[in-house]
Each structure stands twice: as structure tokens, then as C-alpha cells.
Homo-oligomer: A and B are copies of this chain.
Amino acid sequence: MTPLAVWAVEGIPEIVAGDDLPSIVTSAVGVLEDGDIVVVTSKIVSKAEGRQIPADDREDAITAETVRVVATKAHAGGVTRIVENRLGLVLAAAGVDSSNTPQGTILLLPVDPDASARAICTALRLQNGVRVGVVISDTLGRAWRLGQTDIAIGAAGLRVLDDLRGTTDAGGRRLDATIIAVADELAGAADLVKGKATGMPVAVIRGRGDLVGDLDEPGARSIVRLSGDDLFRLGADEAYAEGLRDGRADPNGGAQD
């Protein structure tokens, strides 16, 4: 198996609204090889798209980005809303971010990260004359585990889910349940070199060219599990409260079950 090399790209300037991010990334990454994968932090995509707004509008912005509230958590500083946002992502504060932005401003997630990934991927392929993939990453919390990891919220030109279900393991047995969310693992690997505090928002991963394919491969949106299929579509407290309300409204329902 080929070794993997992951490095952060130097020389990405501070991005502002209106910047031509595909050109900037293409210049900064240097010469790419066939099968390289470029991981771009969503923050600079948002900045190029002018998604910066005044911090005073934070609560309204979260509401506007929210499709539905999944859970809420009260703490000393107020209430954090865990929501499903318009991209299908379940995350705190709908992904509205106040780090790495000018004082008094906050940043919304990109409008369409899969489309942003395609635009960057197209520019990279044209410039280099080879097939490369692009992942747009963001930093999210998880259920059941502390800490955050980077995952793919946008992607183009690569298989985001590596479906091994047809393949066999070393013992010749079929790997029935195994679909690997490789785009998320790539985003996490890139985070290991980009860091959060270094101001290096782009990384290149070399060694998984087998994942790179047509520009119209399904994007990161296809990694989202639809809430109707999700066992954790609501927080435990929220689901309990719904049940309690329904039980009180129809206390004899149990007898008919």
C-alpha cells in the first residue's frame, strides 16, 4: 500500500469577500500530481463568499441557518442549540463561527460547499492537467465523544464513501457492513497538519489517488444520513418531552396498544 503524505500549504493570504479562491488555492498549492487531494478549511471559503456578518446578528443568523432544532443545552453563557442546518449537518450553533474572524464579526458556513469544492477542483484540474480531488472541511463535535474532529462538508472529484461491501477481507469473508467515510478521514488527516491556530487553511494529501474520479462524483452532502433514518434525530431530553406531552394528552393510549 502506498504511503500517505499530508502537508499544509504555505502562502495562503488572508481571504476577504470577493477573492477568487480557486485561483488563490491553485497558485498556492504548487504542482500537483495525478490523484492528489486538496483539503480546504470551510472558513476561507466562507470569507471569499462574503459570509461574514456582524456578531450582533448571531442568534438571528443561527435561526436562519437552522432547518430544525435537534437539542439544546443550557450553560453559564446561555443556551447552545444543536441543530440540523440547511446543509443537513447536525452541529452546534448551525456552524456559525466566531473564531478566526475580525472582532465584532461572525462567519456563516459556505452557501453550497459541494459547489465550492467543484469550482476549486475544476481550477486545479485545468491548471495541473491531472485528476485531483477537493474536500471542504469543518470542525464539528460528536455524540458520545469529547473533542472535535474535522469532517468533509463539501467535496468534488473523489469518492466520499468507500463502499467495501462487495469486497472480501483477508480471510476471504465478505465485508458486509463496511462503507468507509473516507472524505471525513481525509479531512481529519488534513487537520493534523493544518492545526487550528497556525493559519494554514489548506493541505494536500498524496497517496489515495484510487479515490479520485470524475468531477461529478456525489459530494459531501451524500454523507448526510437523512433525519428520518437517524436513530438520534432528536436529543434524549427533547424526545422524552415529546413522549411525555403525548402521553399526558392521551393517557389511555397505553390500554389500546
Chain A: residues with CB nearer than 8 A to chain B? Answer: 1-8, 71, 73, 82, 89-90, 98-103, 139, 142-151, 161-162, 164, 167-171, 173, 175-182, 184-186, 188-189, 191-200, 207-208, 222-225, 230-254
Contact = CB atoms under 8 A, between A and B. Distances in A.
Among A4, A192, A224, the most chain B Cβ lie within 10 Å of the Cβ of A192
Nearest to A3: B7
B185 A223 contact: no
Contacts of A181: 142, 145-149
Nearest to A144: B90
A197 B100 CA distance: 40
Given A188-B184, A239-B237, A240-B240, A230 B144 contact: yes
A1 B198 contact: yes
Number of copies: 2
A231 B173 contact: no
A62 to B, nearest CB: 15
Nearest to A253: B248
A225 B188 contact: no
A75 B231 CA distance: 13
Contacts of A82: 231
A142 B139 contact: no
A195 B96 CA distance: 34
A185 B189 contact: yes
A194 B236 CA distance: 36
A92 to B, nearest CB: 8
Given A185-B149, A192-B186, A176 B99 contact: yes
Nearest to A186: B192
Given A142-B142, A147-B223, 11 more contacts: A1-B200, A71-B232, A101-B171, A102-B171, A147-B162, A167-B196, A168-B197, A188-B188, A232-B236, A236-B239, A244-B247
Contacts of A191: 180, 185
